Amino acid sequence: MLDATTRSGGTATASPRATAAELAVAVPPATTVSPAVPTHFAARCTRVLLSPWSRLSLLVVLLAAGACGVLMFEPQRLLTEGWPPQLSGAAAAAVFTVAYGVCTVAFVPRPLLNLAAGALFGSQLGLGVALTGTVLGAGIAFCLGRALGQDALRPLLRGRWLKAADGQLSRHGFRSMLMVRLFPGVPFWAANYCASVSRMGLLPFLLATGLGSIPNTAAYAVAGARASTPTSPAFLIAMACIALPALAGVVVAWRKRHQLRRL
């Protein structure tokens, strides 16, 4: 068998083995096309969905859905119709606590819920249920606002009032929130979401909410429990405890009005 040329100097002839090797080298291997376009599209969709404004839109949708659900449920019927007879004891207290927290996130006024807690469970148990629901609702609102709204809303804090409130909550969070809870005037839900946008920590926020809400919550719980006897000393004292902090808040705001105008 001849290799490349005949030994006699004849015509060059390629062997079958050499031809196969040359073809194997000459033909490039097939390349696989990477799915770059779908990958880039998925990454772009992920960035859009996780953007600050998308999360803020989700927060608005959740709060609107919660408010609509509360309007359909009509929690004020608890004061007139009472608690469903299927629930009683610890189960009723646990369900009411969770419902209390969810309702506060959905902008239901706390005085109404505190009155219902006192009317349904009495002064002592009603106070415990209402306080637990208060801390639970505040924690839910704070976490929702921190996770879904802080990144989008912090760049908008350009007004003097907003900057002053943000600075006060960020530097003196516990003390400021404690005063807000003790003296009524700022809506419960507004204080929750303002604190979530600031740099205040969750633990100081919950502690200040729990401690600062005790006097007002206790007064409403006693008033709800004694609502059937409006001339009783307990009911009158409870109403006084509700009115005095409100009056003190008005006086403090009046005395600080010049400072507020300069903000």
pLDDT tens string 141-170:
999 888 887 666 666 555 565 666 667 777
Q: Is the pLDDT of residue 49 over 60?
A: no
Confidence of residue 28 (pLDDT cuts 50, 70, 90): low
pLDDT for position 127: 94
Pick from 11, 221, 5: nearest CA to 120? 221
Q: Which of 9-23, 58-72, 125-139 has the highest mean pLDDT?
A: 125-139
pLDDT for position 148: 80
Please state the rounded mean pLDDT for residues 248-257.
Answer: 70
pLDDT for position 187: 86
pLDDT for position 259: 57
Please state the rounded mean pLDDT for residues 199-219.
Answer: 92
pLDDT for position 156: 58
Mean pLDDT of the chain: 76
Q: At residue 215, what is the residue type? A: P
Q: Is the pLDDT of residue 201 over 60?
A: yes
How many other CB atoms sit within 10 Å of the CB of residue 78? 20
pLDDT for position 213: 93
Q: Answer for the pair 225, 126: CB distance below 8 angstroms, yes or no.
A: yes
pLDDT for position 6: 46
Q: Answer for the pair 183, 247: CB distance below 8 angstroms, yes or no.
A: no
pLDDT for position 1: 45
Q: Is the pLDDT of residue 31 over 60?
A: no
Q: Answer for the pair 184, 245: CB distance below 8 angstroms, yes or no.
A: yes
Crossing angle of helices 160-171 and 188-197, rounded to 10°? 80
Burial code (b: 16+ CB inside 10 Å, e: under 16) for 43-61 equals: eeeeeeeeeeeebbeebee
Instruction: Dump pLDDT digits (tens) for 78-112.
Output: 656 666 666 677 888 898 999 899 889 888 889 98
- What is the rounded distance in angstroms from the CA atom of residue 96 to the CA atom of residue 167? 36
pLDDT for position 248: 76
- What is the rounded distance in angstroms from the CA atom of residue 97 to the CA atom of residue 109? 15
Q: Is the pLDDT of residue 125 over 90?
A: yes
Confidence of residue 212 (pLDDT cuts 50, 70, 90): very high
